[in-house]
Amino acid sequence: MQRLHEDHPINLPATALERQLASQPRARGAVRLASKPRDGQSVLARLHQSGSLKLLFPRSAGPHMQAVLVNTAGGVTGGDRLSVAAQAARETTLTLTTQAAERAYKAQQGETAHIRNHLTVESDASLHWVPQETILFQNAALNRRLTVDLGGTARLLCCEALIFGRMAMGERITSAHLRDEIRITRAGLPLFLDSFTLSGDIAAHLSRPTVAAGARAIASVIYIAPDAEAHLPKARMMLNTSGGASLIGPDLLVVRLLAADGYGLRQILIPLLTRLSGAALPKSWMI
């Protein structure tokens, strides 16, 4: 056996492990789609999909078009890059949802998952962005941004929901990082801008009375349409004591929801979204 001297460096297991981690594959996924009107129906005009993101198109008896986003990677972790770009053309209605709740898993040190979603809604078009919840796990690191460009008479229903650990599994998020942004413009001018960051002991942050008073599930619902004001009284009646609904423009309704867990959140969210959309939610929400 050859004797090891100081001029023969030894590769320690930790060094080999670091190299292995650095070379691990990361998920890349992108979808691009657009709708168009045809014979009174909203149909597919363009579609591109690559990597871990795919779209399914359930049959619909109505004139609206539904697309269901599937992440074949099974979730996101540090270093993943996912993006969605969707365009609703004039005189179409497009609904986008997800097959299941998205999951943000543990990330390696210094790595962050990035999700970028960009929606374009032309004048006289409607788009419903109603993905199911995103669930954060311990040590997750996620940077997510939703950008929406609206035409002058475009209509939008947008929902983003987050669950910080599954209460039924006894999960408590004491170390994670989340950066979440929503940017909505109309005719190129800012209409709604919202962002927040939670980092470190998220459970402790959420326990503060001025933050979430112990709630583990939150959601933001933005409804932009000429009848927004008419929905305000009923929306307030549907909320729990920790939720709120505000009309911050003549056609802009914003609802904030807090709940103890994902089940409690859905008890409010599903009837609220059903009312605002004027139709039943996609079937994937009911599975």
Domain for residue 207, yes or no?
A: yes
Domain for residue 74, yes or no?
A: yes
Domain for residue 219, yes or no?
A: yes
Count how many domains the chain has: 1
Domain for residue 6, yes or no?
A: no
Instruction: Provide the residue count of the chain.
Output: 287
Q: Which domain holds residue 155?
A: 26-286
pLDDT of residue 12: 43
pLDDT of residue 25: 76
pLDDT of residue 9: 40
pLDDT of residue 59: 84
Domain for residue 89, yes or no?
A: yes
pLDDT of residue 167: 79
Domain for residue 3, yes or no?
A: no
- In order along its 287 residues, the chain shows pLDDT tens digits of 343 333 444 444 555 555 555 557 789 999 999 999 999 999 999 999 999 999 999 987 678 999 999 999 999 999 999 999 999 999 999 999 999 999 999 999 889 999 999 999 999 999 999 999 999 999 999 999 999 999 999 999 999 999 999 877 888 999 999 999 999 999 999 999 999 999 999 999 999 998 999 999 999 999 999 999 999 999 999 998 889 999 999 999 999 999 999 999 999 999 999 999 998 999 999 87
pLDDT of residue 18: 54
The answer to whether 105 touches 75, Cβ cutoff 8 Å, is yes
Domain for residue 21, yes or no?
A: no
pLDDT of residue 166: 87
Instruction: List beta partners, residue 146.
Output: 117, 182
Domain for residue 7, yes or no?
A: no
